Amino acid sequence: MKFDANDRETLLRILRWRRDVRHFRTDPVAPAVIARLRAAMDAAPSVGNARPWRVLRVEDPAIRALIRANFEACNDRAAQGYDGVQAREYRALKLAGLDRAPLQLAVFTETDPEAGHRLGRATMPETLRQSTAMAIHTLWLAARAENIGMGMVSILEPEVVERALSVPGNWEFAAWLCLGHAEFDDDTPLLHREGWQENSATEWERR
């Protein structure tokens, strides 16, 4: 299989328009779309083909409310770490889609999976977590290609999420993902647009 310039341009556009979405419409994501997103995530690379990511689709209103409350508590504590103008700017940011996103996924890493037979992770066990991160990014790109927005909520206490979902002891919380139709499209990152942190190019230095 060989790809051409049109494929490269399409991929670049998907990458450019992949945003951390915080503003969602509440209409549901079609089941066929969800099935395709799941299949795309299954195509992600992983160390030793261990595929250590574990995904829970969270629909229980009580659990969602608990997670929302934990986010608000964590966000308030985080805001207290800033002063003056930066504190006001932080509080003005919309940092979660927990209130409106119709599809919410809790993603975990199984820290000692049988699959893969430890290939590639004996010296670098963190590659299991890296594999989960790649699976999340794969899902993110696939969602954008489906015209579905996705946002990742990181302002949560992992142990609270793990208890709320009663996961096994060898499951480590990785991310809470909010998915749905975005209220608006934007090719500029929210934090860049709001003046919090602009995108900057990185160099590939020679050694």
pLDDT given at position 134: 95
Beta bridge mates, 182 = 24
User: C-alpha angle 75/85/23, rounded to 5°?
Assistant: 45
pLDDT given at position 192: 54
Q: For the chain, 207 residues long, give each residue's pLDDT as a single digit of tens.
A: 999 999 999 988 998 877 778 889 999 999 999 999 999 999 998 876 668 999 999 999 999 999 999 998 998 887 777 777 676 766 666 657 788 999 999 999 998 877 666 765 877 778 899 999 999 999 999 999 999 999 999 889 999 999 999 999 999 999 999 999 988 776 666 555 555 556 677 877 788
Ranges of each domain in the chain: 20-191
Asked if residues 15 and 141 have their Cβ atoms less than 8 Å apart, the reply is yes
How far apart (Å, rounded) are the C-alpha atoms in residues 133 and 155? 17
Residue 138's contacts (CB-CB under 8 Å, 6 or more residues apart) are 40, 41, 43, 44
pLDDT given at position 76: 81
How far apart (Å, rounded) are the C-alpha atoms in residues 199 and 197? 7
CATH topology of domain 20-191: NADH Oxidase (3.40.109)
pLDDT given at position 168: 96
pLDDT given at position 79: 75
How far apart (Å, rounded) are the C-alpha atoms in residues 180 and 26? 7
Q: What is the pTM of this model?
A: 0.85
